[in-house]
Structure 1
């Protein structure tokens, strides 16, 4: 049975003005998101505009507004796509081993993130959430990542996805996120020593529950 979606999982789904039905429409949406990622790498989130994205994608500005009300909605959709790609790559990297060695799983979780940070367009500006949350709304990005990883890994680690495990995953994700941000501020491709220290710290934290 599929896990019951959490409230955070529900929040992870972007609100589009119009859901693509035909393949041509879906391809146009993908082209818009690809263009958004490229423009982010060039000018950053603050200078991102829907008009520039439309020009880069080679579509009328109305095509962008057909799907998105503003640039934040566009960026939210890109963040959602990043999260889906991330979870799929983690799942692929884990392979079919069951039960799963949690230390190996941790390496996969962090290494996939690092790989996307290095190779995926726009990811360094918007990984799983817009860098400037809307006024009065807490940034849910790390909650979303922690919930998705908990749902993906809990059963294969022989754990129940209860409140304690979800809290543990959230703390681990928050700690890893802060340290990996430091690693990429120190070195554009990610400081290897800080990445290694990040893994060591998170391993020590998770061991109390998963060993």
Structure 2
């Protein structure tokens, strides 16, 4: 993935997993628990999620859940870390000159990737990359969105030959925050996404990045 690797800050939530899976069976069990959490969140939102709900949905005992997660917050953080991994994997394939001739076009590709995750990935609209989970004090100095924006910027520098600068990083950070906010609003009451809001996101995105990428 070269210039679009997952940063350690994105995976901070996974540090709260009690037992890191080392066997295929344990890895599959952990994935099933996170799938169950995502499915429940997709229906009721993340604030009402309980570890008992995760266990019931996964067809597992509550002890199995606590084997991996000390509490519901750890479940949410691990799910956010998985969301981050999946987002970065998709961006690694999207932000390339073979798909988009210019960085500006690639930013529109980022918009499409985020919208598709909202549309297809259970639980993603609620949790995203974890910034909505308001924990104090913060475990890292960088937000999840900021880390994603930094990875996108690095891809522009490495793959498109864009010169690194504070202006570039600021523009991409603002653009990604805009994408996140517009897409979240577009999917707030529409499972397929409000087409008018998504189109407006593209127009505002152009205004933010014009002459800066």
Bin the TM-score by the shorter chain: 0.7 to 0.9
Relative to structure 1, the CA distance from residue 180 to residue 98 in structure 2 (aligned partners, 3 Å threshold; closer, same or farther) is closer
- Say which is worse superposed, 157-166 or 51-60, in terms of deviation: 157-166
Shift of 1:163: 4.0
Counterpart contact for 2:114–2:180, Cα < 8 Å: no
Paired with 1:18 and 1:100, the residues of 2 have a C-alpha distance of 44
Deviations 1:9-41 (A, max 9, x none): 322112122211111111111101100000101
Counterpart contact for 2:18–2:70, Cα < 8 Å: yes
Shift of 1:180: 2.0
Shift of 1:174: 1.3
Extract unaligned runs of 5+ from structure 1.
Answer: none
Shift of 1:68: 1.6
Given candidates 11, 22, 27, the residue that maps to 2:9 is 11
What secondary structure does 2:52 align onto?
A: helix
Extract unaligned runs of 5+ from structure 2.
Answer: none
Shift of 1:130: 5.3
Counterpart contact for 2:33–2:54, Cα < 8 Å: yes
Relative to structure 1, the CA distance from residue 98 to residue 90 in structure 2 (aligned partners, 3 Å threshold; closer, same or farther) is closer
Counterpart contact for 1:72–1:130, Cα < 8 Å: no
Shift of 1:52: 1.2
Counterpart contact for 1:75–1:130, Cα < 8 Å: no
TM-score (norm 1): 0.86
Relative to structure 1, the CA distance from residue 66 to residue 150 in structure 2 (aligned partners, 3 Å threshold; closer, same or farther) is farther
Shift of 1:208: 2.1
1:151 alignment partner in structure 2:
154
- Say which is worse superposed, 20-29 or 158-167, in terms of deviation: 158-167
What secondary structure does 1:121 align onto?
A: coil
- Say which is worse superposed, 178-187 or 167-176, in terms of deviation: 178-187
TM-score (norm 2): 0.85
Paired with 2:181 and 2:8, the residues of 1 have a C-alpha distance of 25
Paired with 2:108 and 2:196, the residues of 1 have a C-alpha distance of 15
1:167 alignment partner in structure 2:
170
Structure number with greater CO (CA < 8 Å, separation at least 6) is: 2
Aligned residues: 208
Shift of 1:155: 1.3
- Say which is worse superposed, 78-87 or 54-63, in terms of deviation: 54-63
Cα-Cα RMSD: 2.6
Deviations 1:34-89 (A, max 9, x none): 00000101221121011110121122222222222211111111111111111212
* 1:183 aligned onto 2:183: no
- Say which is worse superposed, 13-22 or 185-194, in terms of deviation: 185-194
Relative to structure 1, the CA distance from residue 161 to residue 87 in structure 2 (aligned partners, 3 Å threshold; closer, same or farther) is farther
